[in-house]
Structure formats: C-alpha cells, structure tokens
Amino acid sequence: MSILPCPVQPSLSRPGPSRRFSVAPMMDWTDRHYRYFARLISRHTLLYTEMVTTGAVLHGDRSRFLGYHPQEQPLALQLGGSDAQELAQCARLAEEAGYAEVNLNVGCPSDRVQNNLIGACLMGHPQLVVDGVKAMLDACSVPVTVKHRIGINGRDSYEQLVDFVGQVHEAGCQTFIVHARIAILEGLSPKENRDIPPLRYEVVHQLKADFPQLEIILNGGLTDLDAMQQHMQTLDGVMVGREAYHNPYLLADVDRRFYGDDAPVRSRIEVLGALRPYIAAHLEQGGAMHHVTRHILGLFQGLPGARHFRRRLSTEIHRTEQPLALYDDVVEDMIGRMRA
C-alpha cells in the first residue's frame, strides 16, 4: 500500500485521521447505520457524525448521541454549539469516546440553530468560534477542525473570509473544511442554502494559496472522482455529502484513488452480505430493518435493477413480518440481475 504525499506540514497538526476524502456530516442521513454501511465499501474514507448539539451531549442520552460501532472508525464527531465551556466538555467526552476528531459546525444555516447561535451564523461572531476552538483544544488532544462557508449574507467578502480563517487559525485550528458557497441566513431554507448560492471553488483555492500551511478541505457539489482528484492537485482533501449518500458505491474507488490502497473492494452483493449480520443484530435489539436499509437504497444507482431494488426495500419492507427473509430475497434477486 502506498500513501500519497500530503501537502500539509505534519508538525503543525495534531496526529489525526487523514482527511483526503471524507463523507460530510448530514442530519438524519449519516447516522450510525449509514456509517457502518459506508465503511463496508471504503476502509479509509473519514466519516462524520450528524451534527450533535452540545446540549444534547451534555443533557441528553449520551450513549445515543455519542455511541457508534467500532468498525465505523476513522470517525469524527461534529458538534453544534457556541458556549466555550460546553464545547470543551463535549470535546473531552468525544475524546473519551474514541472519536478521531472533533469538528465544529459553522456552516449550517437553519433558523432553529441560528436562534441558539449554532452553525453558519457564527461566521458573524468570529470571537465565539475563537473562544470555542481554544477551549476545545485545551480540553482534548484530538484534532479540532471547523466546517464553514465562504461567507454569510452581509459578511461575504474575501477579506472577511480571510479575517475569519486567520483568527480561528490563531486560536489553534489547522484544518478548515470549506463549503464553497455563502449561506443566506434569512429567506432560504437549509435545503435551498445547499443549492442556490453559487459554488465558488476558486475562493477555496485562493484561501489555500493565502494559507498554504493550513489543511484546506473542499466541500460542496462534488460528484465526480476525477474532478475531485483535480482539486487535490492544490487542496488537501475533499468532503462529499449528497453524492456519497445517493450513490454510495462511489466510495468503492476512494481507497485506491485517494489512499493508494489497492486491496480488493467488496462488490455491491458482497456489501449486502456483510451488512446482513449487522441488520440481524439490530433486529435482535428490537430495531427495525428499515432503520438500516433506508440508507442503502442508492447502492445500485446507475445499474439495471436499481429502481427495483429501491422499491422493494422501501415499500415491501413495511408490509413484511419477516424482514430478513425479504432482505435475502432482494439480495438473491439482485444477484440474478447482476448475472443477467
């Protein structure tokens, strides 16, 4: 196995996971079941949890919010919050729980989170991010990273972006995951905020040119591995969200392309086989099969039978009393279709 050279100066970074390729934090999507499934396809991809608020970690069901299967590693916890003391407590708990990284959400534009000073609105309050990052770095020894936008409405100039990154870097953050569009904090839904403000990759490349010592990860609208590798000529990594969810077998080529690991990759059918014991264990604990299988509907995206697979697992599943028998039948069906 050959690991490709990384442009970051390692002496500046805390030891941590490689971020050459990661799957973005996505609420309701990148839960532990999706992550377990994704890990069956790629060994090296860095996975992120959904955003967990500091309040949920500190006052909620901790095993629910911090729990994961050890096979999900390398795994980063994304926190939402702005109170430095609370962020510090959560960072400590994240380290104790074995997370490889703690990430602060400074990119999510939802109203619900703005009211609590969480997410993209924090780009307008750099001092809160500075204080939070410092407190987290003091509280744990894993890397602390920040995921943010290139700006927010009313604070969207390049100088303001440089000011934000510069201040947060001074606080000790070495890694910036940059969603290459601004967030519009009023009038657009979170979904619209992921599509409407135009992507401006050139801004992220400029940031890397101006902060060559930082690890700069590009996020937003990436779907094609060749194009991602092009960005990697100058940037340090790519983070993929929706495409990794809707077309998860994209991850099958990541270990070879981004990590130089030529070890054999599971076929789609082998992935389904490897997922079966996990589903069986989940059922035994009283869970429902669709908690897991709702995340795998895109596995055959682009292949004959993709729609059939999706339909059987999303409709028949709610009618059956024998979910594993249905699963086996769907797998058999797909084996037949792949052979045809």
Q: Which of 22, 45, 82, 105 binds ligand FMN (CB under 6 A)?
A: 105
Which of these ranges, 37-45, 91-99, 240-248, 282-290, lies near ligand FMN under the rule CB under 6 A?
Answer: 240-248
∠ CA 142-144-149, rounded to 5°: 155
* Contact criterion met (CB below 8 Å) for 179 and 198: no
Q: Which of 79, 113, 129, 222 binds ligand FMN (CB under 6 A)?
A: 222
Residue 197 vs 221, nearer CB to ligand FMN: 221
278 binds ligand FMN (CB under 6 A): no
Q: Which of 17, 81, 132, 221 binds ligand FMN (CB under 6 A)?
A: 221
Question: Is residue 121 among the annotated active site residues?
Answer: no
Nearest to 217 by CA among 49, 103, 72: 103
Amino acid at 319: R
d(CA 154, CA 219): 22
Q: Which residue's CB atom is positioned nearest to ligand FMN?
A: 241
Element (H, E) at 36: helix 32-41
Q: Is 56 helix (H, G, I), strand (E, B) or coil?
A: helix
77 binds ligand FMN (CB under 6 A): no
- Candidate list 6, 90, 108, 121, residue with the active-site label: 108
Residue 191 vs 307, nearer CB to ligand FMN: 191
Sole residue written with tokens 């953050």: 173
Residue 31 vs 261, nearer CB to ligand FMN: 31
- The alpha helices in 115-267, defined as continuous H runs, are 126-139, 158-170, 201-210, 225-231, 242-246, 254-259
∠ CA 94-99-104, rounded to 5°: 65
Please report, for residues 196, 329, 338, the alpha-carbon distance to residue 152 in angstroms, rounded to integers and kept in the order given.
13, 49, 47
Within 145-174, the residues that bind ligand FMN by CB under 6 A are 147
Q: Which of 20, 32, 33, 179 binds ligand FMN (CB under 6 A)?
A: 179
Residue 204 vs 326, nearer CB to ligand FMN: 204
Residue 222 vs 275, nearer CB to ligand FMN: 222
Q: Which residues bind ligand FMN (CB under 6 A)?
A: 24-29, 50-51, 78, 105, 107-108, 147, 179, 194, 219-222, 240-243
User: Active-site residues: which are they?
Assistant: 108
